[in-house]
Structure 1
């Protein structure tokens, strides 16, 4: 049989620390009262020392503290990762998720590791300092390693759960269960839409409105050179706009079909602001939505004027915003950067185009001063087929004026040419027949002040009314609206956002419009575009009774009552749906702030112009998306606090000098094996394990000979000097005994079969 010295050599944590300690107990009898020496001599066997394990434990605690601090800060500030976590960034979304999960798991494992070491040091020091610990305290380790023990072994929780160390252990057990979940919810990058934030964006501009409206040159850049220097540009525009503008009109008309009317949608209303907004298409992939600028009530204005008045103004969003959003200088995440899962919204404080259409019903005699064929000095046209070229060049020779007063002067603001050339009255060749329209092509020289409007005269088909209707169209610039652009893999939209009925800007991004004093100044240069548009859509074919299909559909919308039709658009709405394409097609590089101190001469070469915007870009970011997920922040905070406390305990209080963890299962097994049986420590049978009453029994570690042993808190040293005769005891748990007796002279050796019998 091995001697006690051999056992001590094999178990260094149970052997004397030096020779002096060995001599202090070898002189005493094994059965004397001094065989169980107090704390001073017990520490000789468990002298705190710095080792590779203690340094590793400190580094583990430091790692757990730093990483938990990092996770807590990240969850608190919710950073946006932008291009860092994207298809072209340093981390792909899957790599970022994997890295976060890996760090969270290592923090969880290191946190449990250092806390178990902390519990072991606290309980071991209490045991050797004769302060006493119980089995319930030792079972705290299983609470953390096996959280199910909190329910299956709830008796230990009742005993030790209300102590300071017990509460700390319970909290740690819960934190170890929830930490990975909390990190996944609050730290792991997730694709989210952050709150709106203000940002200065830049876009390329290369001219003001007048230079941008060189429509023929713009169109010919994408048109083959056929050598038609005179009519090539206008022909290109006619072909282009007949498709673009005509498609917008057809799409708008199709929304008012019978099926939609049967469902009685809210936008089929007599109130303008509630009606369906006018939409268009930009570059065949961006849906453009305009906004109503004024709430002109048809009934009220018609009553004042004594005739039906249909006056509508819309705001068209700035079409340069989509190009600016993709400008590399703005560095915005595009949907393709997030594997087509991203999206963004921009609310830009830029100028918008304002388009106005004013349609007025008038009787034949009221229009007589404006009809050329009614003039006594009118030159007759020889061939109707030549009317387009003949009118107005030959039929309206130099010296002819338009100073014929009408009852419509106040409605349209007309004046004599001698008073204001820009407000001169329009002249039409003749009355259009039913279902036809005629455009006004007369103008005064530019140097005298050209009018900004283009006019269209029409009459409803099938003699549904005796009245004609005269419409004016013009374009301007408004600064009372903003432009909102949304882009995602599902599509793009561009819309104007203007003040609501209460005068408040209905933009949830809190971006404010420019609101310049030059708001809605009419643009003279747009008039030529208006004429090209009417020609391309065959709305001037009434000059030679062309019976164009577009004109027939359009004239069927003529109002016969002083109110908007709930199931059909009004003539003004229809005209605006056609004219929207003119400013969308040709104004991509129009300045964002047109009333700044710049002119056309300043744009010899394209330049960057900045504008205020509110931006919301979907990107990977940390932080809980739902409000209830914020509760998991407590888990990260408590884990950090406990880590800091344990780090201070190891580094400052213990100075990395640790003793053997006596509560570690293998060490506790050896202690129990060498401990003597006791009559009063644990009364239960060892094979049955600890009972409920055993959980409260305090025990300590003392020294017996060359070994450390576990004894009861209240037992005297003299009573513990022998081998022990009572039933139970920690030593008895690890040495199976026969039922009904302690280990005495009559017991068989432990290695015999009978000695193993319970």
Structure 2
């Protein structure tokens, strides 16, 4: 029994003028054979013929004509592109829709739905309206109404219902007039037993509603081109310019390695602190990295998207699309590695790998090469200014410089002298103790061969408790005892010790010279100075003499000497005023001649008077003489218990031009000042580098130093042998007296020990003294002082944009490659192409385009876990339907050429019902997992 439905087709009359609805994916096809000027012919479509052939081949009998024409549901009626409507002259519902105003909308009344329920029921879907349908219907209705043709058919689309149960298992075909779908899709419908799991599962009807019908409503709202005035292009171009300029600046800075001086310092008065400078550099480097990644990912997207549009190109593969993830997520190289073997060997793939490595290490490279860090610069030649207040060894200035709270109001007579005695005593004994400590290690080792003066330990002195002054032995030629013995036939111990000029410390720390101090560099800064200044020196000349040879110099051996006995048996001593018996100095009075006049340069030949002593000291004792008129020396007479001879020592001091002063100051290890002497290659010695005209002047022994030394020997009671006090200092010194004409490699000599003991006087006499060999000022002691300039070679630590270790130069490659890639991307964006295109590698764009593209057998089976390696290399291109104004993905070549499964296999052309049947659900586990996931809760 036939039942009329709203969708039953009436036979078109000769006067009817039906219209055609095109497919969204293809232009109108075969409309010429249906619509003519005067008649209409209805013929079975190609799809109908193919459907009939497939059913015949599968063994199903063709449906009877009398049963299928009217009684079969519309889904099995082979529909053409149009249908006749109701009686002529009656306005159909579709015509009413076409005549509606624009704001009312126009939607098809029903949606294609496959139902598994009652065959007599029709499932109504939500009506949908597209811009394309509205324009098409409006244009067609206007054409048809102008010709006064018959009304349009009853509906825009064929309604598709459920097949009768008798034919439920029959395979049937459905054909859509789509140019992009060339093969019929074979739909296999099977009955599935109901299950409690079906509530969470997607049944056949739902799956068919999602996948059986191509998207007909995607009418592109905008063109794929992104214009230059668009916000996207402006931002991308700005990021590219920023990244290029800043990466170029970073690369140049890493090469130039600028030094920031006081611009970056921990001093509160400085503009930028080191931590702030490092933070700023790291922040800028991070912005360069982020902008570089953004621009390069956009560059990849532009290249791949444009290639996807080019028909002659090979298309774009999923492996190539994943390259953008390498840069954004470098870890994806390990987690999603399937596409790497296919994408990496390409030119774009290799470039992407390089960009990935550069992006990963750019901030690290910036920290190693650009972030400010303390580093030594090169040696530079400049002048420093030092404050000078007095001549060398000026005793009055030295006394005033001694720090004591006792002023003239408390002790006008001896306040300064008492302070100076404490200073001398403390510093001198400290220096001697340090010196003996070095020798103790040598003596205990018993393996020393240091028998030449230049190789033996030197004296050290502490300046301001934070700087160590290291002396140097000079004039080592005359200091050879063997050579002296060959000349004078006696044991002679002659040494000269030069100390560095302590005024360098004051000049280096003077703000006038603008040298960054360690406290300005977070307490860890350093600098080195080689100054062309004079060095104070002390000479100690000791000679072993017999008692008879000393008789002209010992008062108790003089004729008519006034003596008295001592506590020591057979020892005589001059009376208290014995010095009154010594002849006063006159023009021709040089006192007695001795066998050692040429050794000590006494007598008329040298215009120098010898000393006179009150008595002979007993063993392990010393006596001194500092009262020789117009003398520049002090004398010490000592007696060792190991030899029969007495030892007479002369001590003098002067400033020498043979040295340079080297000052190294560190915020961690403190300061060190060294005297670097008698080095012919030293360009910073006073002789070579000062440029003064007094470099050739002979050294003049300082008379003032003799006055300092007098106070110095009183502070330590070096004259204790007069009372036979057996002082410890005298016993130590006399144990160092040479017994034979050679230096003991395991012990210091007495001359060496005395020089070290007296080194404190050199430091005290040099503070605030001149840096030159000659005194050129009228006043010997200037309260305010004057600044003297002197030449130095110096290198300083400053915060510098540079690498510290040599191996860190490898980061030049990272900085350089980022700059080159930025330049290439900038040129591509600004000049190579006019504007941009929509980036279909962006997730949102890729999702929209893929969702509105026809299904493909090339990715069959990948909906769960994702594509495999073989599917990663399937090329795709972007196709376009001008009729529907629709973009979509399609395969760029035959998948079978790439080793993919045949698209004509059972699973490739099945509708999906077979895969969802209970028999094909290997799927029980997959479904359980899906059910568990779909029923779980989300927290973020």
TM-score band by shorter chain is 0.7 to 0.9
Per-residue CA shift, 1:523-551, capped at 9, x if unaligned? 23212222222222212233454443322
Per-residue CA shift, 1:50-80, capped at 9, x if unaligned? 3112111111122222222232222222233
SS in 2 for 1:404: coil
Aligned to 2:233: 54
Partners of 2:750 and 2:534 in 1: CA distance = 26
Aligned to 1:274: 455
Aligned to 1:405: 593
Aligned to 2:773: 594
1:650 pairs, out of 829, 833, 844, with 829
Whether 2:299 is the aligned partner of 1:114: answer no
Partners of 1:544 and 1:678 in 2: CA distance = 119
SS in 2 for 1:392: helix
Superposition pairs of residues 88-487 of structure 1, within 5 angstroms: 88=267, 89-130=270-311, 131-135=313-317, 136-209=319-392, 211=394, 214-219=397-402, 223-225=406-408, 233-257=416-440, 261-264=443-446, 266=448, 269-295=450-476, 296-376=479-559, 378=561, 390=577, 392-393=579-580, 395-397=582-584, 401-416=589-604, 420-421=606-607, 423-444=608-629, 450-461=630-641, 464-487=642-665
Contact 2:435 2:457 (8 Å CA) reproduced: no
Per-residue CA shift, 1:121-168, capped at 9, x if unaligned? 122222223234221322211222232343455453333323322221
Shift of 1:714: 4.8
Instruction: Report the structure number with the largest CA radius of gyration.
Output: 2
Per-residue CA shift, 1:18-64, capped at 9, x if unaligned? x99x99xxx9xx9587999xxxx999932341311211111112222
Shift of 1:217: 4.5
2:811 pairs, out of 616, 619, 632, with 632
Shift of 1:194: 4.2
Aligned to 1:550: 729
Shift of 1:634: 0.5
Partners of 1:391 and 1:648 in 2: CA distance = 103
Shift of 1:609: 1.9
SS in 2 for 1:498: strand
Partners of 1:61 and 1:575 in 2: CA distance = 74
Contact 1:189 1:621 (8 Å CA) reproduced: yes
Higher relative contact order (CA 8 A, sep 6+): 1
- The TM-score, its normalising length taken from structure 1, stands at 0.81
Shift of 1:235: 4.5
Shift of 1:280: 2.1
112 and 234 in structure 1: CA distance in 2 versus 1, 3 angstrom threshold: closer
Deviates most, 701-710 or 596-605: 596-605
Contact 2:265 2:273 (8 Å CA) reproduced: yes
Contact 1:35 1:703 (8 Å CA) reproduced: no
Superposition pairs of residues 662-701 of structure 1, within 5 angstroms: 662-678=840-856, 686-687=863-864, 689-701=866-878
Contact 2:372 2:801 (8 Å CA) reproduced: yes
Per-residue CA shift, 1:296-351, capped at 9, x if unaligned? 22223223321111111111011112222221122223233344333333322221
SS in 2 for 1:567: coil
Shift of 1:254: 4.1
Superposition pairs of residues 503-542 of structure 1, within 5 angstroms: 503-505=680-682, 516-518=695-697, 520-542=699-721
Aligned to 2:889: 710
Per-residue CA shift, 1:263-287, capped at 9, x if unaligned? 3475x73222222111122234432
Contact 2:391 2:770 (8 Å CA) reproduced: yes
212 and 538 in structure 1: CA distance in 2 versus 1, 3 angstrom threshold: closer
Aligned to 1:720: none
Partners of 1:113 and 1:213 in 2: CA distance = 75
Contact 2:657 2:773 (8 Å CA) reproduced: no
Superposition pairs of residues 559-570 of structure 1, within 5 angstroms: 559-570=738-749
How large is the Cα RMSD of the aligned pairs?
4.2
699 and 304 in structure 1: CA distance in 2 versus 1, 3 angstrom threshold: same
Partners of 1:44 and 1:365 in 2: CA distance = 123
Whether 2:798 is the aligned partner of 1:611: answer no
Shift of 1:195: 4.4
Shift of 1:707: 0.5
- The TM-score, its normalising length taken from structure 2, stands at 0.67
Aligned to 1:741: 909
114 and 218 in structure 1: CA distance in 2 versus 1, 3 angstrom threshold: closer
SS in 2 for 1:45: coil
Contact 1:298 1:562 (8 Å CA) reproduced: yes
Per-residue CA shift, 1:392-441, capped at 9, x if unaligned? 3564446593342222122122232xx553x2222323322333222224
Partners of 2:719 and 2:293 in 1: CA distance = 85
1:572 pairs, out of 731, 734, 751, with 751
Contact 1:317 1:494 (8 Å CA) reproduced: no
Aligned to 1:721: none
Report how many residues are paired: 700
Contact 1:682 1:728 (8 Å CA) reproduced: no
Shift of 1:386: 12
Aligned to 2:7: none
15 and 687 in structure 1: CA distance in 2 versus 1, 3 angstrom threshold: farther
SS in 1 for 2:511: coil
Deviates most, 42-51 or 307-316: 42-51
SS in 2 for 1:592: coil
Partners of 1:452 and 1:601 in 2: CA distance = 18
387 and 211 in structure 1: CA distance in 2 versus 1, 3 angstrom threshold: same
Shift of 1:577: 1.4
Shift of 1:234: 4.2
Partners of 1:549 and 1:261 in 2: CA distance = 20
Partners of 1:650 and 1:521 in 2: CA distance = 79
Partners of 2:332 and 2:250 in 1: CA distance = 29
Deviates most, 583-592 or 624-633: 583-592
Partners of 2:667 and 2:431 in 1: CA distance = 23
Per-residue CA shift, 1:449-502, capped at 9, x if unaligned? x332222111114xx3210111111111112212222333455344333247x7
Aligned to 2:117: none
SS in 2 for 1:366: helix
Deviates most, 349-358 or 404-413: 404-413
227 and 186 in structure 1: CA distance in 2 versus 1, 3 angstrom threshold: closer
Partners of 1:338 and 1:485 in 2: CA distance = 18
Partners of 1:394 and 1:246 in 2: CA distance = 35
77 and 42 in structure 1: CA distance in 2 versus 1, 3 angstrom threshold: same
Aligned to 2:50: none
Deviates most, 689-698 or 69-78: 689-698
SS in 2 for 1:256: helix
Aligned to 2:216: none
Contact 2:903 2:909 (8 Å CA) reproduced: no
Deviates most, 52-61 or 147-156: 147-156
Shift of 1:360: 0.5
SS in 2 for 1:329: helix
Partners of 2:462 and 2:323 in 1: CA distance = 69
Structure 2, gaps ≥5 residues long? 1-22, 26-104, 107-129, 144-175, 183-218, 895-900, 931-940
Structure 1, gaps ≥5 residues long? 8-13, 445-449, 716-725, 730-736
Shift of 1:389: 7.3
Partners of 2:429 and 2:409 in 1: CA distance = 25
